[in-house]
Structure 1
Amino acid sequence: MASTKCTRYSLYWEETECLSYYEMLSLHEIFEIVGSQLTETDVEVLSFLLDEAYPGKHPLDPEGWTDELPPGPDGSSQGNSPCPRLLKTWRRIQPQNEPCPITGRHRPKSGVELLLELERRGYLSEGNLKPLLQLLRILTRHDVLPFVAQKKRRTEREKIEYQAVDTSGDTQFSSNTDIPSLENTQDHQWRAGTGSSMTTTTPVRQKRGRGYHWSRKSRGKPEIQPQPTPNKVTCDVRLRVRAEYSEHESALRGGVSSDKPQPLERQFELFSRASVLLRTRDLGSIVCDIKFSELANLDAFWADYLSGALLEALKGVFITDSLKRAAGQEGVRLLVSVDQDDYEEGRKVLLRGQTHNGTNWGTQSLP
């Protein structure tokens, strides 16, 4: 008797399917996006700060060979600890100055490799991206900060169809229907200080005949109610523009040093001095709010930002000849950042405004 196989449906999703369903990014996908935005100079500066602030353990250190487990119910440590004899031998032969010589360290060659090294040392994880944000702020790469997020960035505009508002008879108004123009309104005069729905007809001139005075009655014309001007809905999108030097490595290596004997004090002093030096090399920044009232203009602005066309257009405005002369031999670059949250919130506001105005037009046109 042939055995019958029952089809089983897995109750668990694959990680990639789950992330795709919720439009989320994995940690390594974030590394690829952020790492592709980092320049070669950024990688060199971050590598320098990585060795000073996040030193890695020596590959022969026995403490790195065992997994750290949470303590047991009685408070005792769990897991297999290294052999005491091995630890004693390592403490006797380990390097005294640095945990790992600089000449033997591996220098990351790309931004992705640098971020993977941070993850390997245990400073980055899916639940802790603060060290990466801190390093980007030290580099003044505020334009890369929005990319450090697990939510996917939307690059295509959504297609939204508006249903036609059914009015009296066969008349239909939708978002693409032209509003009927106001014609033959010479016989109407608006009252001052009243609403748009209150009108009065002008008196018709009386023509004098030969024998008797007679008045020509005005023909009955349907009064066309003008459509009320809808309240214009606007949204604000914050734009940040910063100009800075293209290369910081030589300035950091020549101006960042510490003579503190304690490693922790030396790390804090290096961070503070690097932050002060990078602030002094800041060539200026501008933060402004751009107001949009049309959804098409907002989508076009966001598409230009993602494609880099906005950055190229702003270079000719901000990087002037006087700024180049002030920078001297060093190169100047421009950083542009637009908040994705402002774009998404503004898009919702404009969509609600369009829907509300379309509904009002259909209501006003009813007899």
Structure 2
Amino acid sequence: MSTVLFLLGFIGFIAGIIFVVKNRKKPLAKRKAWLLTGAGFLLFVLSVALNEPTPKLVFTDDSFETNEKGLAIIKGKTNEQSTITVNGEKVKNNGESFTYKVTLKDDQPQKLTFVASMGSTDKAETIEVKPSKEFIAALNNKVDKEKIVAKAKSALAIAENNPTQKNYDEAATLIASLDREESDLTDRLAIVKENIPIYAAVALAEEKQTKEQVEAATALVKKEVTLNRIALNKRLTLVQQKISEKETQEKLLSDARQAVEKAEQEPTDEHYNQALAKIKELPNGNSELDNRIKSVKQLLTAQKEAAQKAAKQEAEAQKAAEAQAAQEAAQAQAATPESGATVLVTRTGEKYHTRKCGNGDYYSATLEEAQNRGLTPCAKCYP
């Protein structure tokens, strides 16, 4: 629009001058020529007023490189009236010159867009900031140092969690390799060193599981520099519980063994049952005592079977004896002469007979007389 007005004003102004010169002797035409000249001039002025200036944005280079610390200084020129911004941030300019500082955080190039503004007109330029070789080397060196520091801190944390000589040596080697002394790490490492014998004592108590070792470890854990005291006390409490359980198991085993020995020496049902109950009280059992008590059971079973057999034989013998006695009584009753019967006796014999039975002088006597003399029946005559 302003360009069109400028051309019209310029043409009208020139044409008006020409007409003024040509019509200098004609007042009416000359007046019209001056009106045309004035209108052209007004259009020219109006076009100049409407035409906004174009902002300038020029840099000293297309790209910029950082120094060894990652800093780059971007320099450029613009209009004195221009406003410069980069990524929304206003840049202060000194007349037509301006500078902008940027620091890279890593080894990747960074692109920045600068905008020069005058009124409603903007001009934008994109500049690339590249990391220098020195800066990249510094970054790599920093990363290497950070890795060593991180590794040292990790090893120290492991040593603090479990202060053994091995863990201490690994942490100490890494901390010693650092370029500068880390007082915090050194102080923590010294505490780890003081805790090595404490943790060794706790480990020994866990291995040996004796009251003496637990007491020695407990005394060391009470030191002010002890790391993870709560955890160590829990470990020692667990050891003490194991010792108590062990003593309880040993007492149960001893009682069971004594009960089995008593059952073996005096194999009775009572002793067997007592021993069996003691064995069942053992948390993990005992194969040796199981076998021994089984032998006692077998012995008791054999004894009972033998006793039953002997009782049976005795009962049978008693029954046979009773039968024999009954038979003999019946026979004796059957062989006994009736009252008033006559029997044969001798003057010196101890038996009475039904006939002459052997040598001697036999004579007759009544049964009452023979029995009164104490004579008994002859086995041959009274079978």
Q: Considering the TM-score relative to the shorter chain, is it more than 0.5?
A: no
Bigger relative contact order, structure 1 or 2 (CA pairs below 8 A, ≥6 apart): 1
Q: TM-score, normalized by length of structure 2?
A: 0.17
